[in-house]
């Protein structure tokens, strides 16, 4: 344990698998109580069990983190069972690969609803807890594609660019309350979502991605979790 979070309550959206799960396990090591919000309730419960089996405290909540009513219900349950929320990691998202001219309005709206509207609503719901405590940490998972671009992800990259802008505004708006807002922009991370992408189904595609990176390997959830623990 590098730094104790002293039982502070952390909400991590999309923590039923992938990077979210890695961050849940890592923050639990630092003595945070973890609320896992995920549309995949089975995955959320599996993550919670992993945290508990390691000696931590975790609550699994099935919720669509882009739906205001479900966000409110998840927040109420979290406060009731774990306490006021001090740490928020907006991790839930989707990352489809789609040629630009094939992105229809329905898909565009879905990406924006989950990747930027969701974090906006979740943050708005939980920030009053942090203001009351005069301490809070907001960590938004953006994407390195905001800087590099991504030919098949115009919708996804646009949504993550908006999340970058929101993060900077939150830092300015909430700093006086003892709340920090930061972002982690992952590159290629080995997650079920990445492996499930059609573009990654070619044999050796994951390994080729890794070899093209400066460190010579694809990233892991643990890499991102270490950054999240530092920021928390």
Q: Return the pLDDT at 59.
A: 98
- Provide the whole-model pTM: 0.92
Whose tokens are 């920090």? That residue is 180
Within its chain, how far is the Cα of 69 from the centroid? 19
Q: Return the pLDDT at 195.
A: 60
Cα 155 to Cα 122: distance, rounded to the nearest angstrom? 21
Q: Return the pLDDT at 198.
A: 59
CA nearest to 55, candidates 34, 38, 39, 72: 34
Cα 129 to Cα 87: distance, rounded to the nearest angstrom? 10
Q: Which residues, 6+ apart, have CB-to-CB distance to 203 below 8 Å? A: none
Cα 14 to Cα 191: distance, rounded to the nearest angstrom? 12
Q: Which two tokens stand for residue 111?
A: 């990406």
- 123 with 90: CB under 8 angstroms? yes
Cα 108 to Cα 158: distance, rounded to the nearest angstrom? 10
Q: What is the mean pLDDT of each run of 10 residues along the chain (232 residues)?
A: 82 97 98 98 98 98 98 98 98 96 98 98 98 98 93 96 98 98 88 62 72 79 94 98
Q: Which of 74, 156, 185, 227 is catalytic?
A: 156
Is 209 marked active-site? Answer: no
CA nearest to 111, candidates 150, 178, 60, 159: 159
């Amino acid at each position: 344990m590098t730094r104790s979070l002293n039982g502070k309550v952390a909400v991590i959206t999309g923590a039923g698998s992938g990077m979210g799960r890695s961050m849940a396990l890592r923050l639990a090591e630092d003595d945070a109580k973890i609320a896992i919000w995920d549309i995949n309730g089975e995955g959320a419960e599996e993550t919670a069990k992993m945290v508990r089996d390691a000696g931590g405290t975790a609550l699994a909540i099935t919720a669509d983190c882009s739906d205001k009513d479900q966000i409110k219900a998840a927040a109420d349950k979290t406060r009731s069972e774990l306490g006021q929320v001090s740490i928020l990691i907006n991790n839930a998202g989707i990352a489809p690969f789609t040629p630009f001219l094939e992105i229809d309005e329905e898909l565009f709206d879905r990406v924006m609803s989950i990747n930027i509207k969701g974090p906006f609503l979740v943050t708005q719901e939980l920030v009053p807890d942090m203001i009351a405590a005069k301490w809070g940490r907001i960590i938004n998972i953006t994407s390195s594609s905001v800087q590099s671009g991504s030919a098949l992800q115009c919708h996804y990259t646009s949504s993550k660019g908006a999340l970058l802008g929101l993060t900077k505004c939150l830092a300015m708006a909430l700093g006086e309350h003892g709340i920090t807002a930061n972002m982690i922009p992952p590159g290629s991370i080995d997650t079920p979502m990445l492996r499930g992408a059609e573009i990654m189904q070619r044999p050796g595609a994951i390994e080729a991605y890794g070899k093209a990176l400066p460190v010579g390997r694809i990233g892991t959830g643990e890499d991102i979790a270490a950054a999240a623990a530092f920021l928390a």
